[in-house]
Structure 1
Amino acid sequence: MAYVIPSYSLAIKKEDLEELRNDVWNDDPVPGYLTVENKIYDVDIAYRGSYTREFRKKSYWLDFIEPEEFNGSREIHLNAGFKDPSLIRNKLSLDFFQDIRVLSPESQHINLTLNGSVEGVYLQLESVDDLFLQKRGLPEGPIYYAINNYANFSFMRNKKVKKEILSGYEQKVGNWTDDFYLQELITKINTTPINEFPEIIERYIHIENYLRWLSGAVCTMNNDGFTHNYALYRNSQTGLFEILPWDYDATWGRKVNGGVMEHDYVPIEGKLDNHLSFLLLQIPEYRKRYRSILEEILETRFTVDYLEEKIVFLHQALRPHILHDPYKKKSIHSFDDEPDFILQFIKARRSYLINQLKNLEN
C-alpha cells in the first residue's frame, strides 16, 4: 500500500512572521492560514520543542481556529526532525509502540511550504488530548506531558529536593483538582515501604501498560525518554494512570544531536533515575513480568525480519521528497545510509538485550 505524503501550505503575514522569528522561545502564537487539498484553515502558529527551536529548520504547533478541527484534531504538531538523518525515527518508534500494545499518537509525514518557500519534509504528530481519547473510545481523564527531566516520579532531582512535587509536568487536559491525583501518585511512590509497594501502586498505575512502555523505551533506546518525552493519562473509569510515548527522534542508535549512540548505552532496566521504574524492578513479580514482556517483544517485534520492511518502505517513500528538502537534500547520501544503520542497531541492540535478560532473574 502506498504511503501518501500530502502537501501543506502555511501562510503568515510578514509582520507576524517577523514577530515569530524575533523570539524563538516565545510560546505566544501568531495568526496564519493552512491550506490542505484546496481547503483553507484559519490557524494560530507557534514554534514547538526545546533545544530544537534554535535549529534552522523549525518545528511548529498549529491550533485550528476556523474550522475548529482538522481531520478530527483541534491541534497538530509539525516536527522537523532536523537532527535525524533518516527522518523516520519518530514515526518508526510511535508505530513500534502501537505494535507492542502501548497507547501511542498517530504520525504522518507531510511536505510543508511557508509563504511559498519549500520547508521540506515534516512529521505531523497527533496531539494527546481529549480528542485523542475520543477517537479511541477511551474514558475522559486528565492528561499530563512530561516536559523536562524533572518528571522522574521522585521528590528529588540531582540529589536536591524539587521545589514543587509536579515539577516537570504540564497539564494538557483537566482542571486544577486533577493535580491532586498526580500529586498523590508521586507521594505514594516516594513514601510507600517496599514491602507494601505492589499492593499500593496497583491502585494508581496500570502496571502492564507501564512495563510495556518501559520495554518499548528500552528497545528503541530513547535515552531521555525515561524522565521526559512521555504523557500520562488517568483513565477516569479505572482510576489508573497510563503512560504514552512522545517525541522519539533520538532513538534507534542516534543521540539528540544526531551522533551515534552505542547499542549498549541504555541498560536493560532503562534509566533508573526514573524512580518509578527503579522501584517496580525491585519487586520480583514485576521483574518477572517485565522480562516476559521483553522476551515476547524481542522474539516477535524487535527483530530485523519484522522491522526491515517497514524501514525500507518509509525510506523509499520519503526519498523523492528529501531531494526537494532544502535542509536535507545535500545530505542525501547520509539519508541513504540510514536504513542499514538502523537495521545494524536493531541487530546489535537485540543481541545485547537477549544477553542481559539474565540480569532480570530474581
Structure 2
Amino acid sequence: MLPSYDLFIHPMHLVELRRDVWSDEPVPGKLTHEKKKYNIEIVYRGSHIREFEKRSYHIVFYKPRTFYGVNEIHVNSEFKDVSLIRNKLSLDFFQDIGTLAPKSQHVLLTINGKFHGVYLQLESVDEQFLRHRHLPKGCIHYAVDDDANFSLLSDLDQDVKESLSAGFELKCGDAQSEGYLIDFMYKVNTISRADYEKEIVKYVDVDNYLKWLVGIVCTQNFDGFVHNYALYRNSETGLFYIIPWDYDATWGRDIQGRVLEHDYIRIQGYNTLSARLLDVPAFRKQYAALMRRVLDEQFTAAYMKPKVEQLHALLRPYVQKDPYMKDRIDTFDQEQGVILQYIENRNRFLRERLTELD
C-alpha cells in the first residue's frame, strides 16, 4: 500500500502556479495525509522537467513545521522514466555500497480531488538529513548546473570562472560556507601532482568520493559528474562528502528516456576531481578494489533482480490507474527486462575495463 497525499491548492493560487512554470515563488496550499492536515507552500521543481505534462513539486511545511521529522519534501513525477523506479533503485544502490544518499519512497498524489498518479518522494539533503544520520552539523551546497564541475574553467563556455562557487547553491551553512567551498575547489585544481595524495585528504573524504564514483559509473548518470549532487562539509573533520541526487536517467536510459548504451561512460568517469584522484596510484588501486567488489556483490543481475521485481509489483496496480501511465503499461512491464539486461551488459563492460586501472 502506497502512502497517499491529498493536496488542495485554491484555484486562484493554482492559476498563479501554472502561469509561469519557471517561477520559484511558491503558493500556499494544504496537504492531507492519514486524516491530518498540514499547511504548506508548493512550487514546481527541476529544470527541463517543469514543462512535462506530469510535473514535479517542492513542498515546504509551515504549520506544523515538520512532517515525519522533515521540513520539506520533493515529489518527482519521474515522467520520462517509464519504469518509475530508476531513481529509487539508484539511491538505494548508493546506500547499499556505503555512500550517503537520500531516502525515497513512492507515493500517490491527488490535487484538488483529481488523481495525478504515482510519484517518488525524495528526502531533502539538509540539516534534518544530517541529524537523522547522526552526522555533525556542516554546510551543504547543491550542485545546480554544469559549472559544479570541480574545475577552474566553466563547463558552459570553457572560460575561467568568475567564482569557484559557480554552479552551487547554498542549502544550509553560515558566512564561512562559501569560503570553505572556494578553498576546496582551488585546492582540487592547484595542489601539485607530487603532493596530491597527502594533501587532498585534508579537504575531501576520498573513500566516500570513490564509492560515489563507483556508483555513478555503474548506473551511468551522465549529468551527475557535474551536477545532480550535494556537497556536505563535516564541521568536525573539515572534509567534504559528495551525495547523489535525482538519478532517474540511469540503468540504461538518458534524461529523455531514450536508450543509453551500456558502454557510454568510461570506467574512470569524468570531472576534474575524479581525474586527479585516479592519477594517484594508491587512490586508483583503492577505486579498482571498490569497483571489483561492487561488480561481484551488488551490481549484478542476481542481486538487483529481486529489488526490481519487488518495486515493479508494488507499483503496477497503481500504474494501471495513473492517468499519465496507464496507456504505457506494456512498456512499464518491459522495463524490468531492460534494466536487468543493462546490468548484465554494463557489469561485463566494466570488468573488461578494470585493467585500465592497473
- Aligned-pair distance for 1:14? 0.6
CA distance in 2, matches of 1:283, 1:157: 25
- The CA deviation at 1:171 is 0.6
Deviations for 1:228-263, whole angstroms, at most 9, x for unmatched residues? Answer: 100110111111000111000000000000000000
1:305 correspondence with 2:302: yes
Matching residue of 1:249: 248
Which residue number in structure 2 is paired with residue 259 of structure 1? 258
Find the partner of 1:123 among 117, 120, 125.
Answer: 120
The CA distance in 2 between the partners of 1:198 and 1:74, in whole Å, is 39
In 2, distance between residues paired with 1:21 and 1:5?
27
2:312 matched residue in structure 1: 315
SS in 2 for 1:247: coil
Q: Tell me which residue corresponds to 1:202.
A: 201
Distance 2:169 2:18 in 1: 25
- Alignment partner, residue 214 of structure 2: 215
Q: How does 1:1-362 map to 2 (within 5 A)?
A: 4-158=1-155, 159-271=158-270, 274-361=271-358
- Deviation digits for residues 74-100 of structure 1 (CA, Å, limit 9, x no counterpart): 000001100001000000000000000
Q: Which secondary structure state, in structure 1, belongs to the residue aligned with residue 224 of structure 2?
A: coil
Query: How far apart, in 2, do the equivalents of 1:164 and 1:235 lie?
Result: 22
Q: 1:271-322: per-residue Cα shift (whole Å, max 9, x none)?
A: 2xx1111111111111100000000000000001100000000001000000
Instruction: Letter of the 2:125 partner, please give it.
Output: V
2:246 partner letter: D
Partners of 2:284 and 2:341 lie apart in 1 by 28
Structure 2 residue identity aligned to 1:228: H
Letter in 1 for 2:81: D
Offset at residue 341 of structure 1 (A): 0.4
1:156 partner SS: coil
Q: When the two structures are superposed, what TM-score results if normalisation uses the length of structure 2?
A: 0.99
Taking the aligned partners of 2:321 and 2:205, their CA distance within structure 1 comes to 44
Identity %: 52
Q: Which amino acid aligns with 1:145?
A: Y
Describe the superposition over 1:15-36 as per-residue Cα deviations: whole angstroms up to 9, x where unpaired: 1000000000000100000000
C-alpha separation between the residues in 1 aligned to 2:231 and 2:207? Answer: 14
Alpha-carbon separation, structure 1, partners of 2:197 and 2:15 = 54
Alignment partner of 1:336: what SS? Answer: helix
Runs of 4+ in 1 over 2 A off after TM superposition: none
| Distance in structure 1 (CA, Å) of the matches to 2:14 and 2:112 | 10
**Partner of 1:160: helix, strand, or coil?**
coil
Which stretches in structure 2 are left out of the alignment for 5+ residues? none
Stretch deviating more after TM superposition (4-13 or 340-349) = 4-13
For the aligned residue pairs, the C-alpha RMSD in angstroms reads 0.7
Q: CA deviation at 1:163?
A: 2.0
What TM-score does the superposition give when structure 1 sets the normalisation length? 0.97
Measured against aligned partners, the alpha-carbon deviations of 1:45-87 in whole angstroms (never above 9, x if no partner) come to: 0000000000010000000010000001100000110000100
